[in-house]
Structure 1
Amino acid sequence: MTQHRIALVTGASRGIGRSAAHALARRGANVVVTYRADAQGAADTVRMIQDAGGDAFAMQLDISDVGSFGAFTAELTDELGSRWRSTRLDVLVNNAGIGLFDRLADVTMDSFDALVATNFRGTFFLIQALAPHLADGGRIINVSTSLTRHVSPGTSVYSASKAAVEVLSRSSAVELGPRGIRINAVAPGPSATDFNSGAMRDDPELRGTLAAQTALGRVGKPEEIGDAIAALASEEARWITAERIEVSGGALL
């Protein structure tokens, strides 16, 4: 990635979002870190990037609140202009999302609506809001899950919301392709992050079970997902678009 490109990573106060922000910064990008509630976590991400010689700043964004996107976009372009003398993004990483896991009989309308509103509707309308501010030749990377390929009890609504994101990635790639914008989905497998209350990170028995189901014999690390996102955003991947790239260590093959 060339120097001074600008990337925005949603949900970058922790986990995969933080790792993606770091990986993009290491490749020369200035990074906008967004967070929903964890301002301190976002500040830590910014500090880590700056301590490593990069540049970043944080903005609050709740992607389930589509009505806030107009004000967010206006503030974002103002900040980009004042800090980095640009009003354009080069990379958009849609990482923010939630995981609510219930078996079919226990899914409530509230949990269903929360998953769809955050994981799919929020992602869709954020792309809509920011696409006019994405540079020609830019990239959009949407974070999905390996659960759109294999199944697990209690994941039906979560997986369906992410499958919708994968279809959105393909259709948007066609619409924005004439501008040279590439859109892909990265689908992480079991990873030791704090997602779902850190279950895979903190539960050795669960981690061992999942590790035994991967070709590489372990669960993933958040930085491995972040590196894959940054690689997909690079010039070396310039001929890849409308694809789902699974980063799972060969889970449940």
Structure 2
Amino acid sequence: MKVAVVTGASSGIGQSAAVQIAKRGSGVILTYSSNEQGAKDTVREIEESGGTAAALRLDIGDTAGFPAFREAVAETLHETFRRDSFDHLVNNAGFAGMALIEETTEQEFDKLAAGLFKGPFFLTQTLLPLLADGGAVVNVTSNSTLPQVTVSGYSVYAALKGAMVVLTRYMAKEFSTRGIRVNSVAPGATRTRFADDAFAKNPEIIPDLAKTFALGRVGEPDDIGMVIAMLLSEEGRWITGQDIEVSGGQNL
């Protein structure tokens, strides 16, 4: 059985990706930060469909905890999957922050940088010895990096997601010697807990936002999760170094 590590899978896109990957026959080690119940829900959904999953806590903004996390992954691989390596990594965990450039504090900047770029960079580095040759990595970026999507207040968030797009290309080049493919997926606005659960708290914004999508609605987690699962699967075997927008034609 192949095994995937999916970060930030207690809700939203990460949860969908974990479930979709499991539906394709892979075991899943998923992570959560504060939403332990959500992680348990993800594990239960996978197990109820006949799959195998385990949940581990991870603070993507705390690199000091990464060596211990690697040991926890190695232990879970051995005990749950009888493996000493895993095949797929989905760098999804992160968080949003909004402030105009003139109002952004250094503390806010550093927090976002730690969670959105430094964390995924060093987590991948930390887990690389456990990632099997011929495997695959998917980084979750954002269509906010694209020229046609510019929203005031998201300069730092978008810039750091843009850094992940560049990092994806360099990972694809460097990891290719081991046959590891690396791509990124750039969602548009998606109905998740993003930005402090903005969609649930402000449902009135959805109809007007939907008008910005060529396909006439905002995204759902499965719209993204299925693409992530495809990129990790055999169907994605000849795709690497790409940032793929999955947005239903937002601002097309």
TM-score normalised by structure 1 residue count: 0.96
Q: Distance in 2 between matches of 1:139 and 1:173?
A: 9
Alignment pair present for 1:124 and 2:121: yes
Task: Find the counterpart in structure 2 of residue 19 from structure 1.
Answer: 16
Rounded to whole Å, the distance in 1 between the matches of 2:197 and 2:187 is: 15
Give the C-alpha shift of residue 239 in structure 1. 0.6
> Map of 1:49-60 to 2, 5 A cutoff?
49-60=46-57
Aligned residue for 2:150? 151
Runs of at least 5 residues in structure 2 that lack an aligned partner in the other structure: none
Question: How many residue pairs end up in the alignment?
Answer: 250
Q: CA deviation at 1:71?
A: 1.1
1:104 aligns with 2:125: no
> What displacement does 1:200 show?
3.2
2:131 pairs with 1:134: yes
Which residue number in structure 2 is paired with residue 226 of structure 1? 225
Q: CA deviation at 1:63?
A: 1.1
Aligned to 1:180: 179
Quote the offset at 1:201 in angstroms: 4.7
Q: What is the percent sequence identity of the aligned residues?
A: 48
Looking at structure 2, the residues matched to 231 and 32 of structure 1 have their Cα atoms a distance apart, in angstroms, of 18
Report what 2:248 is aligned to: 249
The answer to whether the aligner puts 1:10 opposite 2:7 as a matched pair is yes
More off after superposition, 124-133 vs 202-211: 202-211
Give the whole-Å Cα distance in 2 for the aligned partners of 1:106 and 1:221: 31
| Residue 198 of structure 2 is aligned to residue 199 of structure 1 | yes
Q: What stretches of structure 1 of length at least 5 have no aligned partner?
A: none
Q: Which runs of 4 or more aligned residues in structure 1 lie more than 6 Å from their structure 2 counterparts after TM superposition? A: none
Deviations 1:227-251 (A, max 9, x none): 1100111111101000000100001
CA contact (8 A) 1:191 1:201 kept: no
Secondary structure of the 1:154 match is: coil
Partner of 2:39: 42
- Secondary structure at 1:185's aligned position in 2? strand
SS in 2 for 1:153: coil
The alpha-carbon deviation at position 208 of structure 1 amounts to 1.6
Contact 1:145 1:187 survives alignment (8 Å): yes
